[in-house]
Amino acid sequence: MDKKYAAQEAIAHSMMGSLGLKLIEEKEGFVRASMPVNDNTSQPFGVLCGGASLAFAEIIAGYGSYLCCPEGFIPVGSSVSGNHVSSVRKAPDVLVYAEATALHLGRTTHLWNVDIKTGNGRLVSTVRVTNFIVKDKSESWK
């Protein structure tokens, strides 16, 4: 993918890099990624933070929308709503996985469902993300 969003430097200097997200699979309407459960993504009690899960979901859905945007347009999140159904303890090499599936890819809005699961498939969180598709007015990506 030659879009600038996916450039390693852009990822490293954004929340994607801060949370340790890794893209695994990407195609139109679907993105799969991983996130470690570590000091950066856990509560002080040692379990995955719900806020980190919501950020993970919004980032991955935003990336999926970006892949579908026409040149000169970008996604901006407008709504994120999630339910956390189980917990994950932080530990070395523990990852959670997000699968973002597009439910609607319109001209001005995209709706995504993102399921976050453990490595063995246990559901941790399920999240809905709505993105507006807007003209990119920034100069930083050009």
**Which active-site residues does the annotation give?**
58
Tokens of 137: 């007015």
Q: Is the Cβ–Cβ distance between 54 and 98 less than 8 Å?
A: no
Contact call for residues 80 and 55 (beta carbons, < 8 A) = no
- 39-43-126-93 Cα dihedral, nearest 10 degrees: 30
Q: Would you state the structure tokens that stand for residue 94, as one six-digit string?
A: 């523990």
Instruction: Give the HSE-up count for residue 97: Cα atoms under 13 Å, Cβ half-sphere.
Output: 11
DSSP 52: H
